[in-house]
Amino acid sequence: MVIHKLSWSKVQSLTKNGMFGDGGNLWVSVTNNGAGKSWIFRWKERGTGRERVMGLGSVHTYDLKEAREKARECRKLLDDGKDPLEEREGARLDRDIARGLAKTVNDVLVEYSDRKMIARKKENLRKQFDYCFRNPVRDKIGDMPIQKVDTNTILKTLGLEKLWIEQLPTGERLQSNLQHMFNLAIHRGYYRGKNPAQWKGHLEFILPAPKDIHTVTHRASLPYTDIGRFMATLRAWEDKSFRRQGHTAMALLVEFIVLTGVRMSEARLATWEQFDLQTMIWNVPPENLKTGHLNGKVRPVPITKPMLDVIKQMQKKDIDQSPNALVFPSPHGGPLDQSSCSQFLRNTLKWKSPKIDVHGFRSTLVDWCRAQKIYPEHLIKRQLDHVIGNKVDQAYGHDQHLEQRRAMMEEWGKWCAPKPTGTDNVAQINEARKRRRAS
């Protein structure tokens, strides 16, 4: 390799725009007819052959001898298998860290979290966001300078690789949020380089495809023919613990979810001010809705007689009934926990067969509606708050079909009312208990 092909006088006299080589990977870049001159170190990446370029400074700042020395140091790094650009960025980062100027993962995490959750007032989404993303990132790599985080850090130290294989849905949420967080860091200038959490074109070649390791399973639901038997069991249940709370808020919450077909979070977070018992409408605010971000509007849910009965039972309890208080409060304050609802079915109510999930009651309602063959699909979707049609339909389709839905849900309430036949009759048992107590 021929080196030192240029002289200092030659460099000073260059006026033609272009690149002029001195050898040893050192070049002079001339722009603006000689007004702009800078030193460039060019090399090809091992393995890929991709050309890399790194600026070494202006000709006005460094003379030829100094530029050659800089190029020699870069060649030594290449001989050691190191990347000159990465080494320079690393040294710059170390200086920033020493001065307290480098952004840590926690710094960027706070910025990303605030931006991500600013429009999300849903308590359950915040919990999920904290559990799946914010807490693991903060605890495991929060104090690292974000520029030092690479793909291996994400896969091994943070544990994305293990999580991806063992708990894919959680792994996908973690990867998605990391990708967005690093995009923010890159655009704000906190991170230089390619996104280490990028799925397309990067992690997709490292982690197995989701379809190869995960099968989607739907929430366990109760056949609609069994709902009467379930409701009889639920309505007859009373707290037998030392607290002796009778028919608890948890039991009434589950009953209310069955009768309304709403999502669990909508009922858990319901407050007294949302219920207009004059018009018999429950006005669910957009922040409590899964689809609330689509139009930001309140969703009216018609209140039927069985639903009203549940509300009146809660009114008889010794709880805070101020307008902004929860209708179904936890004994310890705040909303009832989402996981506690499922535990109530399995461990407290001891419902064993068939296996059910609280969210699955929505499927039970849908199956019943379709079996009647008189309720149009758009009516069912309105009651369940499913997205209807395309964006145009969503923008212009404002008819909530309240009275049609009310009639449908009244019939559903009647269907839920039958008692089991052949053996026990819950109503008769309760009456017998009352007579024994009276005597």
Identify which of 341, 317, 323, 347 has the alpha carbon closest to the alpha carbon of residue 267.
341
What mean pLDDT comes out for the span 246-256? 91
163/167 Cα distance (integer angstroms): 5
- Would you say residue 132 has pLDDT above 90? no
Question: What pLDDT sits at residue 48?
Answer: 85
Every domain of the chain and the residues it spans: 8-98, 105-213, 224-438
145/37 Cα distance (integer angstroms): 35
Q: Hey, CA dihedral for 242, 243, 249, 252, is it positive or negative?
A: positive
Which of the 8 DSSP states describes residue 209?
A: P
In single-letter form, the type of residue at position 276 comes to: D
pLDDT bucket at 422, cuts 50 / 70 / 90: very low
- Would you say residue 271 has pLDDT above 60? yes
7/22 Cα distance (integer angstroms): 9
pLDDT bucket at 392, cuts 50 / 70 / 90: very low
Question: What pLDDT sits at residue 428?
Answer: 47
Residues 3-36: tens digit of each pLDDT:
899 999 999 999 999 999 999 999 999 999 999 9
State the first-to-last Cα distance of the chain, in angstroms, to the nearest integer: 112
What mean pLDDT comes out for the span 345-374? 87
pLDDT bucket at 241, cuts 50 / 70 / 90: low
Report the 10 Å Cβ neighbour count for 431.
11
- Would you say residue 282 has pLDDT above 50? yes
Sheet holding 26-31, edge to edge: 18-23, 26-31, 36-44, 51-58
Identify which of 47, 46, 68, 48 has the alpha carbon closest to the alpha carbon of residue 57.
68
Lowest mean pLDDT among 28-32, 141-145, 210-214, 256-260: 210-214
Question: What pLDDT sits at residue 418?
Answer: 61
Question: What pLDDT sits at residue 350?
Answer: 83
List, in sequence order, every beta strand (DSSP E) within 245-389: 275-276, 281-284, 299-302
Phi, psi of 28 (to 5 degrees): -110, 125
Residues 6 or more apart whose CB falls under 8 angstroms from that of 136 comprise 158, 159, 174
Residues 6 or more apart whose CB falls under 8 angstroms from that of 41 comprise 25, 26, 27, 53, 54, 55, 56, 70, 71, 74, 84
Question: What pLDDT sits at residue 115?
Answer: 82
Q: State the Cα angle at 250 between 248 and 254, rounded to 5°.
A: 120
pLDDT bucket at 396, cuts 50 / 70 / 90: very low
Domain at 224-438, CATH homologous superfamily = Intergrase catalytic core (1.10.443.10)
In the predicted model, what is the mean pLDDT of the chain?
A: 85
**Architecture field, domain 8-98:** 2-Layer Sandwich (3.30)
Identify whether the C-beta of residue 150 lies closer than 8 Å to the C-beta of residue 89.
no
Whether 105-213 shares its CATH topology with 224-438 is answered no
192/89 Cα distance (integer angstroms): 9
What's the token pair of residue 73? Answer: 């140091």
Question: What pLDDT sits at residue 97?
Answer: 67
- Would you say residue 219 has pLDDT above 50? yes
- Asked: is 105-213 a CATH 1.10.150 domain? The reply is yes
What mean pLDDT comes out for the span 114-133? 71
Residues 301-333: tens digit of each pLDDT:
999 999 999 999 999 998 999 999 999 999 888
Lowest mean pLDDT among 11-15, 91-95, 161-165, 179-183: 91-95
